[in-house]
Every structure is written in structure tokens, then in C-alpha cells.
Structure 1
Amino acid sequence: MTATDRRSRSAPVIVIAPDKFRGSMTALDAAQALGDGIRDVLPESRLILMPIADGGEGTLDAFTHAGGERRVVLVRGPLGTATLAEYGVHADAALIEASEAIGIHLVEGAAPGVAVHASSYGLGEAIRAAITDGAGEVIVALGGTATSDGGIGMIAALGFELIARNGTLLSGTPADLMDIAEVRHTTATIRLRQIGFQVASDVTNPLLGPSGAAAVFAPQKGATVEDVAVIEERLTRWSVALERSTSVSTAGLPGAGAAGGIAAPLVALLGARVRSGATIVLDLLGMDEAMQRADLVVTGEGSLDAQTIDGKAPAEVARRARDLGIPVVAVAGIAATELPGITELFPVIYQLSALSTPGEDSFIDARAIARRAGSLLASRWLDSEIAPRPA
């Protein structure tokens, strides 16, 4: 390699777009550490830091890093205790991370039975606050919730009427799902028809059945076998009531089972579109535009595995880069390199677990090791060991 060739590669434009490294680094932490390492070797490089997420934890961080402003609202937590929830606004769009209002972290140490009793009411309050702020587009990012109430609490908070089988009004508790017959718009909800709703989710599970909200996600929230049966029956009745009220079937709707079934009423009652959380986030960030200028893309997350291939944000980054002919490097805590899909998407992978030195812990010392990974990949780029983008 000539000195001229080396100089031509010394000032690349590099998009750094990692997801979180759970338990060790946020997505922004990872992006900054990798960027520091790259600049140690390529001080003239132009770095575009774009921390990413897939609709779950970290989505609000990605949204605000891209220019969104954080707002705070007081809401009911999943067990009724008042809690402060943050959401993001940018222009006329609002991003609400469901876990901010009704997250599983808000019920730590609670008595058994949380999955049966937790309510999504606070999420509805957060949505209502965003609309009051002037949002014309609302993105609800699902994941990490404590609830399995099908979103009935959220719908109650938004002002819908919940009608029991005997014609009386219900308040919207999880137990009310057993008696729900119909959902009606009110004067308070008419304006919601003018709002564009999107649901950002990283799962495609339906509302009901063996791969639905109760069977798959309720046990993760502490539900017993008996609890799962109760929740499945409740959600079945909820699905029937929603279809009776809107003619929209949610039982087998892909993505309707996310976050305890919250997507189901958003789709049926508010016309929400369920989209891949990764797709929504990358579009909000302007990832395609950033890549148009890039010579190299760096992505990754804590664990590159089968779930990564199945719709996670780093895989979406890699696919978009590949379509544009841009080389991709992945950095991960660990990577299942035995999976063909992993090495096809990420031909160059650095694993923090392999880069740690004696005495280092890949979790505790993740930022230092990620910086080292950034330096290593920058050196490979400088030495032309990573093929450049075709001219």
C-alpha cells in the first residue's frame, strides 16, 4: 500500500450506529467509545454518531439524540402509584416509550400477581399529554412493560367508554376484560381520529394463542400457569369486544401481542400502523441520508445472535448499508459467529469478550474495550483490510 493510498483513507466518513450493550453501555455510550477509538487512529475522520434502538429500551434516547426534546408528565404507574414518565417531541411528532410509564422496572419488589393486576392507564395519560402538547403524529414504542391488560387501561385514560355486558360503564381495570362487551368513541376521543398513530415493536407475536401475549410474555412478568390462563381468557374477550366495536380482528394480528397486547386497541380503535421498531427508529434518525455520505458503517449490540437477524436494529443497519454497497463492521459483547446469517450480515466482527485483557471484565470495562475495538477497526480500514465502498 502506497503512502498516497494511505492518505486517501485517512479521512473517511464513518456512521457509528450501535444499539445498547445491555448491562454495560447505552447505545450512546457505545457510539462515543467506538468513536474515541477510531479518532485515536484516524484523527481526520468525520464521525456521524447515531445511537439506535428497535422500539424497546433506548428508543427515546435515540429519538432525543436525533433532535427530539424531552418532556415529563406525571402518570399512574402499572400498580397505580404516581410516577414521572418522559416522552419526546420533535416538530409535530411525539415518541412515547411505553416502559417509561408502565415499565417492568416500576414493579420491582411487588407482590406476586403483577402480570394479572398491572394496568396500562399511565401510558394513556402520557399519550394524552403528548396530544395536548400539539402532537399530530404519535409513535408508541413497545417493550419492557409490566402489563398484560391488552391496553384497556390506556384506552380508558384516553377517554373511550367501556361498556359491560349488562350495559353499565367499566373503569378499565384488567379484571374488567372479563366483562367487556363494547368500546365506544366519545366527544373526548373524536379528535384522536385526526392523529396519526404508529406502533414501534421488535416482535411479531399475535394477541392470542401459543405465541401470543399471555403464553409468551406474561411468564416473563412473573405470571404463573394459572395467571397465563386467566390472561388468555381476558384477552380473548377483549379481542371479541374490539372486533364487535370496530370490525377489526386483532386475535392473529402480527405484533398485537407486544407489551401485553397494547397494540391491539391502538390498531382497532385508532388505526395505528404496526411497524418494525428498527425501521421506524432508523427512518426517524435519517439513517439512509447519513449513509449516502458514508465510507464505512459501524454497528452492533451486546449480543449478535439469532434475535439480531430477526428484525433487530443492527441487522437493519447492515442490510441498508449492504444495499448501498457500504462496508459494515460490527462490534458486540459476544457474537454467535456459527450462525451463517450473522457472518453474512456482518463480515467483520469484533467481540469485546475476545478483546478483553487479563484482569478486564467485558461488562465493567466495556467502554475501554469498545474504544480499543474502534482503534482496531480503524487500523484495518487505514491498511485497506476493509474493502472501500465502490466508486
Structure 2
Amino acid sequence: MVVASDAVAGLTPAAASEQIARAFAERGVAVAVVPLAATGQGLREGVAACCPSAVFAAPTTTAELAEALAAGADQLVVDLSGLSVDDLGRSLFDADPADSLAQLRRSWAGRELTALVPEEEVERPLTGLSGHASTALRAEGADLNAILLADAEAERWAAELGVEPSQGSGAARGLGLILAAIGGQVTDPLTFLAARFDLAATMARADLVVTGAESLDFHALGGPVVKRVAQLAAAALRPVIAVVGRNFVSSRELRLGGFETAYPLVPAASTQNATPERLAEVAEQVASTWQW
């Protein structure tokens, strides 16, 4: 079986998954633990588990990004979700951006660079109706004139670098253009982790998939980790159940969402907090009663 949980009961995804898996393993079940997360400490732990030799960086400024790129790691995974950029990455370079980019490209030859961005940005173009300026600036309330000016500036910047924009160039407010140009892969955290763990193939060999989250409701369906696990389990034609802090979803809605059932740690209306101890208890109950 496979256990791939998000954070539950205050535990990180990795710790929550281990807690759930332990209950099944104690009954002789072969369990594959796959720590998945889209952000934060959970993402750092997931990358460490699937790529133990990789350096993980989560820069918040272009200076920190430049430092990570120059550090000489053979494999670098950089989380760009917390990086705020307002200059398309110009501050990464000196007076001759094209030459600086060429030097950076040469320095990364033969090494592996992965840039992690939100899923909706992975294929974002640099310019156009769905480009960086049209999406990011519109969300900030910019008027049409400001958006058109920013779009034109992005075109000039790509020409100055000598880079032909492609899908994903607009990710991370334009940093995707630079990182792809030096040989980096721009993807989202869950796609990256699932691929590195070979999760689809692992699920295909499993009898059961267990996921989890702090809360399960029909709108969010537990969040991106739970949704991705349910999608992969459905593709593998494997049953998936959820162990959650609270469940607000009916049995019918669970089925529509791809779940066999959900096991809450505390009642939906309870004022109690879900605890690691309660997670262990519920995991024991599930492991002792679930029928394949």
C-alpha cells in the first residue's frame, strides 16, 4: 500500500505519513511512504527524501537566488514560491545581462537545476493575455496601460538576453525565462516529487492508497496534496481513503471526489484539536478494520 499524506494533527506530511504507515506495517503490510507537500517545511522534507544529494533553497530575494545559483551544487532544487520579484530578474545580472546569462548557462552545464513554482504558473508565458504581466499585475489591480507597458518591457528584456520565450517563461514573475535559459526545469512541487518518487508506478503495485489532511471539505477537497493523490490513485484504478483532522464531506461527495471513505480524528463541529496521539489511534483503527 501507499501512504502519502499532507500535514495532519500538527505533524508535517512526512511525520503524518509515517504515523499512519506504522499502524499498517505493524500488521505485516508492506507500506511505501511518500511525503508530498506543496510548500514550506513539508516540501523541504519531501525533496530531502527523494533527492538526498540535492541542495534545497527557498530564496526570498534575488540576491539569495543568485547566491544559491553560484554555490556550485551539482543538484539544486529551488522553491520560488516565496520570492518576490519586480524586475523580471534583472538584478541577477550586472551591466551586460546577455553575457552574464551566457556565463551562468556555462556554469550550469552538466548540473541539474529545478525551479519549483505554483502549479498554475508552470506553463505561464512571459507575455500575452495569459502572460506574467496580464496575470500577476491584473491580480494586483494594475490598469490596462500598466499591463501593456509591463508586457512590452518583458519582450524587450527577452530580446536583450537573446532568449526566445517559451511556455513557463512567465513563471515566478518572469524568472522562468532565465532559469529555463540556463538549463533549468520549471515545474510545480507535487509534479516534481511524484516523478522523483515514481509515485504512479508505486501506486500501480499497491492494493490501497491512504492520504490525509487537516480538513476535508467539498470545495478544497483537502488541498493540493490530497487532490493529486486522489487523481493518481484514480488513474491507477486503486482505492483511496483519507485520514483527516475533520471531515465535512458526505459519503456521496467523497465518492464523487474519488475516495472510498474518510476517517476524521475529531467530529466536524468539535472544539477539540486533532492531536498526534489521536492520529495514531485512528490509524490503528483503520489498519485493524480495513478490508481489501
Instruction: Kindly state the Cα deviation for residue 216 of structure 1 after the two structures are TM-superposed.
Output: 6.1
Amino acid at match of 2:165: S
TM-score using structure 2 length: 0.75
Deviations 1:36-73, CA, capped at 9 Å, x for gaps: 4546xx533333322112366522211212361xxxxx
Larger Rg: 1
Kept after mapping to 2: 8 A contact 1:55/1:201 = no
Matched, 1:101 2:101: no
Kept after mapping to 2: 8 A contact 1:37/1:370 = no
Q: Equivalents in 2 of 1:201, 1:280: separation in Å? A: 10
Instruction: Kindly state the Cα deviation for residue 325 of structure 1 after the two structures are TM-superposed.
Output: 3.0
Amino acid at match of 1:53: A
Instruction: Kindly state the Cα deviation for residue 295 of structure 1 after the two structures are TM-superposed.
Output: 2.4
In structure 2, the CA distance between the partners of 1:187 and 1:49, relative to structure 1 (3 Å rule), is closer
Q: Equivalents in 2 of 1:247, 1:334: separation in Å? A: 49
Matched, 1:280 2:211: no
Amino acid at match of 1:322: A
SS at match of 2:98: strand
Instruction: Kindly state the Cα deviation for residue 281 of structure 1 after the two structures are TM-superposed.
Output: 0.4
* Percent of aligned pairs with the same amino acid: 21
Amino acid at match of 1:101: P
Instruction: Kindly state the Cα deviation for residue 228 of structure 1 after the two structures are TM-superposed.
Output: 12
Q: Equivalents in 2 of 1:59, 1:208: separation in Å? A: 29
Q: Equivalents in 1 of 2:134, 2:273: separation in Å? A: 36
In structure 2, the CA distance between the partners of 1:249 and 1:186, relative to structure 1 (3 Å rule), is closer
Q: Equivalents in 2 of 1:359, 1:337: separation in Å? A: 18
SS at match of 2:244: strand
Amino acid at match of 1:126: A
Amino acid at match of 1:204: E
Equivalent position of 1:377 in the other structure: 286
SS at match of 1:101: coil
Instruction: Kindly state the Cα deviation for residue 248 of structure 1 after the two structures are TM-superposed.
Output: 1.7
Q: Alignment partner for residue 183 of structure 1, among 94, 98, 120?
A: 98
In structure 2, the CA distance between the partners of 1:273 and 1:303, relative to structure 1 (3 Å rule), is farther
Q: Paired residues, what number?
A: 286
Equivalent position of 1:15 in the other structure: 2
Matched, 1:63 2:23: no
Kept after mapping to 1: 8 A contact 2:213/2:222 = no
Equivalent position of 2:120 in the other structure: 204
What residue ranges of structure 1 are gaps of 5+ in the alignment?
1-13, 69-89, 103-118, 162-168, 171-181
Kept after mapping to 1: 8 A contact 2:50/2:193 = no
Equivalent position of 1:302 in the other structure: 214
Kept after mapping to 1: 8 A contact 2:105/2:182 = no
SS at match of 1:52: coil
Instruction: Kindly state the Cα deviation for residue 329 of structure 1 after the two structures are TM-superposed.
Output: 1.0
Matched, 1:318 2:230: yes
In structure 2, the CA distance between the partners of 1:273 and 1:187, relative to structure 1 (3 Å rule), is closer
Equivalent position of 2:15 in the other structure: 29
Q: Alignment partner for residue 81 of structure 2, among 136, 143, 162?
A: 143
In structure 2, the CA distance between the partners of 1:54 and 1:245, relative to structure 1 (3 Å rule), is same
Amino acid at match of 1:261: G
Kept after mapping to 1: 8 A contact 2:206/2:238 = yes
In structure 2, the CA distance between the partners of 1:236 and 1:27, relative to structure 1 (3 Å rule), is farther
In structure 2, the CA distance between the partners of 1:124 and 1:323, relative to structure 1 (3 Å rule), is same
In structure 2, the CA distance between the partners of 1:125 and 1:285, relative to structure 1 (3 Å rule), is same
Q: CA RMSD in A?
A: 4.0
SS at match of 1:262: helix
What residue ranges of structure 2 are gaps of 5+ in the alignment?
none
Instruction: Kindly state the Cα deviation for residue 122 of structure 1 after the two structures are TM-superposed.
Output: 0.7
TM-score using structure 1 length: 0.59
